[in-house]
């Protein structure tokens, strides 16, 4: 399978899983800091346990001699998680999602500055087209004025873009450790911010376990694999799908019917990603054939 398709499948499955996140968060009525505490703790315990089982020596070596990228990537991942949840609590969901959708553009800019990774015309057009699709989704939604919640969403976009660029820089080496250390940062910050870990109801415990044991760790492991095969801007482009799939899962789970704009905008995003990925894969194969014949 072409590397582009490998990265694409990893991102698609990862984002689809992650999109269930919004439904589960809606079903959990505890404070955002309590949710963040368990989200961070389970990421640490589960992912680290798997790594120590499957890659004992390399994991221990990476922990003993962590590099600066591990700390930077983990911090970026933790802050994107925290600021996203806070933004959802402080402002309208539509406002949060629209602001976060500038992340691919930020990612492309950061990759150009720090990795000298040029953004070709096709990638830029795909980012603009997919972002336009998202904007269309929320074009009939009244957004509030600038607020702290909007600032949190902007920080989320920047941190998410930084996370993808760092993964691209390191070729996703020891990528699960970013989630482990990032989860630790999230857990500690949430605890000091007022989390009440044992205030959950029995029903909320079920949702917490589904979210923190299954959805979050598996989705971000897959998402962390994507930049190994895809440029940072390309990989980050798939994150736009969450703004489409999230409302669809809420529709399925809570009966909140998505608007016609959601369906049309979602179609634009999906079509853009399909055409872009197929085009990039064909060009890659063509270049490989040309190189082999030369």
Residue 1's Cβ-count burial label (10 Å; 0-12, 13-18, 19+) is: exposed
pLDDT of 144 > 60? The answer is no
- pLDDT per residue over 173-186, tens digit each? 778 899 899 999 99
pLDDT at 268: 77
Six token digits for residue 244: 């489409």
Contact of 101 with 237, CB cutoff 8 Å:
no
CA neighbor of 166 nearest in space, from 74, 99, 290: 74
**Banded pLDDT at 225 (limits 50, 70, 90):** confident
More reliable by pLDDT, 87 or 192: 192
For residue 140, count other CB atoms closer than 10 A to its CB: 10
CA neighbor of 37 nearest in space, from 218, 211, 239: 211
Domain boundaries, the chain: 3-293
Contact of 25 with 88, CB cutoff 8 Å:
yes
Distance CA 246, CA 100 (A): 14
> How many residues are present in the chain?
294
Six token digits for residue 133: 């699709």
């Amino acid at each position: 399978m072409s590397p582009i398709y490998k990265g694409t499948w990893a991102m698609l499955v990862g984002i689809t899983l992650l999109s269930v996140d919004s439904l589960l968060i809606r079903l959990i009525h505890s404070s955002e800091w309590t949710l963040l505490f368990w989200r961070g703790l389970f990421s640490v315990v589960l992912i680290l346990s798997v790594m120590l089982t499957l890659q004992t020596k390399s994991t221990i070596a990476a922990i003993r001699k962590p590099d600066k990228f591990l700390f930077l990537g983990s911090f970026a991942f933790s802050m994107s998680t925290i600021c996203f949840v806070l933004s959802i609590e402080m402002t309208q969901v539509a406002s949060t999602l629209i602001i976060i959708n500038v992340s691919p553009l930020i990612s492309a800019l950061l990759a150009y500055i720090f990795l000298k990774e040029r953004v070709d015309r096709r990638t830029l057009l795909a980012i603009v087209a997919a972002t336009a699709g998202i904007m269309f989704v929320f074009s009939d939604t009244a957004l509030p004025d600038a607020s702290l919640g909007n600032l949190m969403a902007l920080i989320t976009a920047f941190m998410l873009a930084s996370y993808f660029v760092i993964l691209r820089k390191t070729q996703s080496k020891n990528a699960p450790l970013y989630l482990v250390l990032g989860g630790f940062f999230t857990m500690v910050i949430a605890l000091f911010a007022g989390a009440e870990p044992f205030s959950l109801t029995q029903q909320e415990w079920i949702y917490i376990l589904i979210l923190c044991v299954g959805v979050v760790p598996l989705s971000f492991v897959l998402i962390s694999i994507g930049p190994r095969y895809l440029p940072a801007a390309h990989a980050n482009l798939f994150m736009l799908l969450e703004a489409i799939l999230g409302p669809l899962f809420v529709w399925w789970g809570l009966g909140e019917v998505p608007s016609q704009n959601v369906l049309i905008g979602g179609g634009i995003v999906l079509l853009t990603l399909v055409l872009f990925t197929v085009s990039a894969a064909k060009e890659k194969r063509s270049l490989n054939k040309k190189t082999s014949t030369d």
